[in-house]
Chain A
Amino acid sequence: MSDLDFLHARIAAGDADAFGQWLAGAEPRVRGSLASFARALDVEAVLQEALVRLWQVAPRFVPDGKPDALIRFAIRIARNLAVSELRRTRSRPVEPADLEADLAVDVPAPDPLLRQAIVDCRDKLPPKPRQALDARLAAAGSRDDDELAASVNMKLNTFLQNFTRARQLLAACLGKRGIVVEMP
């Protein structure tokens, strides 16, 4: 994995575009570090809040000189937030050993060939599943599925079924190209 710390100075100076560039590379690893909390917490909510907090404290962060200092810092923020949330909700604790193990989570960046294959497969989707997928992508987390369904004149369950079909078809298309995408 490439070291994203070269972006820290710009992020600390308030450059949101630099933060976006950092997020593109760092998000999978921070999300992966929260896997052990998935049964007890809404990881998506914890992750988004942790990344916002990272942005807020980045100007005061001092890298330790080792690779991926900012990602490691983000993971610690996310893990601390998750542990606080577990305490608040009185869910079962996570063993300290797990905390250290998850700091070592590594996620390879998607390569250009994979990107192109996904785009090609997306372009082959039938109209309705494509419409549902595009609506989710365009909203980028800003609107709930009720709103998105209404925006494309579908009932909620129809919208969700079309979205499910879209990702299943994407996975099947990629599978034919020898690319395995886990779709639980």
Chain B
Amino acid sequence: MSDTEPTDEGNDELIEQVAGAYRPRARDELRYHPAWHDLDEAGRERAYELARSLRTLEAALDPDGLSTTAHAVLARIR
């Protein structure tokens, strides 16, 4: 999809950050990645698709088959 191509290097870096599993910790509310707000809709969709691909790779590289998302969730409940 051509409309989801990055427009510049800065946008690529924002997408790369949002595609990671890190999210600020908070009680009883959703905490978005700060860089998410700086992306347009196409960038947000691209970050989502990138995250899907990355989690597959991460799980394959993890001895327990867990992605960084799964590890982040487990850290919150333990």
A residues sitting closer than 8 Å to B (CB atoms) are 16, 19-21, 23-24, 27-28, 31-32, 35, 38-40, 42-49, 51-52, 55, 81, 85, 110, 114-115, 118-119, 122, 136-137, 139-145, 156-157, 160-161, 163-164, 167, 170, 181-184
Report whether B54 and A167 are in contact in the complex, using a CB–CB cutoff of 8 Å.
yes
B53: A residues at CB distance < 8 A: 167, 181-184
Report whether B61 and A119 are in contact in the complex, using a CB–CB cutoff of 8 Å.
yes
Report whether B75 and A181 are in contact in the complex, using a CB–CB cutoff of 8 Å.
no
Given contacts A43-B48, A47-B69, A160-B16, contact A142 B75 (CB under 8 A): yes
Report whether A136 and B68 are in contact in the complex, using a CB–CB cutoff of 8 Å.
yes
CB-nearest residue of chain A to B57: A118
Report whether B44 and A85 are in contact in the complex, using a CB–CB cutoff of 8 Å.
no
Report whether B55 and A140 are in contact in the complex, using a CB–CB cutoff of 8 Å.
no
C-beta contact mask, B32-52 vs A, less than 8 Å → 1, else 0? Answer: 110010000110111111111
- Chain B residues touching A, majority SS: helix
Report whether B73 and A44 are in contact in the complex, using a CB–CB cutoff of 8 Å.
no
Report whether B70 and A164 are in contact in the complex, using a CB–CB cutoff of 8 Å.
no
Given contacts A38-B45, A44-B33, A140-B71, contact A16 B78 (CB under 8 A): yes
Given contacts A38-B44, A157-B13, contact A20 B74 (CB under 8 A): yes
Given contacts A42-B32, A160-B16, contact A23 B74 (CB under 8 A): yes
**Docked CA distance A127–B41 (Å):** 34
**Docked CA distance A48–B66 (Å):** 14
A143: B residues at CB distance < 8 A: 22
